[in-house]
Structure 1
């Protein structure tokens, strides 16, 4: 059974998994916010798509960035992390973008993977609805944890969650910290503060 997390809560993925964890996927989904109020309904939102970008920032055990995986680099240098590709609209059901991680292939010095979301077009999170991040077992598609994002505002980025390794076990922490930036590189300092 999946755990629904609130901001700053964490869960042990090993305890949630029904078997030894070898591969997980981080999924992110969102919808375009529906216009509200009389004028919003009459004039609409002005946009029928939201281009958010999920990214992973990989940190070693000293807190140094060793890799980034995002729409311009769809796999990590060692091949253990793969991005599903850029979704330009947020349309459709389920995950809009995902990042698959082969835990058995991650280098031993990798201690944290920070999941971020940013708006390359500069669209703000007040235009986003039903946003979430989740982690699931890649092989069985069994969801382990979910973090529903209800924090809208004029920010263009979000440090969504941190995946951390300690003593060979992985934890997933819902962060939900606002940030600003159009690419993953703009969110590195916010991601560093979250680990």
Structure 2
């Protein structure tokens, strides 16, 4: 049975059989914002779909809290290059973490049962110097948009065995939209994988912030979550 995580909860990465969980996906699911608006002078109605672009990213730190590697969307590379910042990529240098790619809309017409953005993890292949891996989420607001995590339909994160297109066994769930502290917030430090006594463990951090871009969230992690 999947674990329903609470904010700040720490768990061992073990299957129900007692085996270590070493290959899994960290996925985020959400829906587009769909509303029904009345037509001219109240006659008729139409469904309006507003795309929701969430960006799932992660950073990998060593035991001193120094940045070793990262995964975030390459779609921002033009801006990053102009500002002399590390360019985005979808695969870690050691190949242990792989991002499924950017989803700029969310599910339309209800939850399709699959996550919109997924980072696949192979703990056996992670660079030995990596001690912590932080996963975080940012809302990218297109021009004219103004919403927060509380307004995004069925937003949740889960850890499961499978692939980006197939869910075999869900290990744990963390519901984002049920926490009132996420109202008005556009960034969220979701969780971290961390080593303790030679074993990997999981911490459902769940801390929201007002960060406008993922680079601000990375800086927050480096300064306050070592």
Q: How high is the TM-score relative to the length of structure 2?
A: 0.74
Tell me, in whole angstroms, the C-alpha distance in 2 between the residues paired with 1:148 and 1:17.
25
Conserved? CA contact 1:75–1:81, under 8 Å: yes
Establish whether residue 163 from structure 1 lines up as the match of residue 183 from structure 2: no
Corresponding position: 1:103 with 2:123: yes
User: Aligned-pair distance for 1:184?
Assistant: 2.7
Q: Which residue is 1:62 aligned to?
A: 64
Contact 2:71 2:91 in 1 (8 A): yes
- Total equivalences in the alignment: 191
Which SS does the other structure have where 2:220 is aligned? helix
Q: Which residue of 2 aligns with 1:11?
A: 11
Contact conserved, 2:8 with 2:205, CA < 8 A, in 1?
yes
RMSD (Å), alpha carbons: 2.6
Contact 2:132-2:195 at 8 Å conserved across structures? yes
The match for 2:31 is 31
Query: Does the residue aligned with 1:188 lie in a helix, a strand or coil?
Result: helix
CA offsets per residue over residues 109-162 of structure 1, 9 Å max, x none? 211111100012265324312111111234783221111112342221111111
Deviating above 4 A after TM superposition, structure 1's stretches of 4 or more consecutive aligned residues are: 15-18, 40-47
Q: Which residue of structure 2 lines up, in the alignment, with residue 77 of structure 1?
A: 93
Is 1:189 paired with 2:219? yes
Secondary structure of 2:218's aligned partner: helix
Matched with 1:117 is: 137
Match of 1:142 among 166, 169, 178: 169
What are the ranges of 5 or more consecutive residues in structure 1 without an aligned counterpart?
none
The CA distance in 2 between the partners of 1:64 and 1:102, in whole Å, is 21
- Structure 2: how far apart are the matches of 1:179 and 1:45? 31
Consecutive unaligned residues in structure 2, runs of 5 or more: 40-45, 75-88
Work out which of the two has the higher radius of gyration on C-alpha atoms and give 1 or 2: 2
Q: After alignment, is 131-140 or 150-159 more displaced?
A: 131-140
Q: Distance in 2 between matches of 1:46 and 1:179?
A: 29
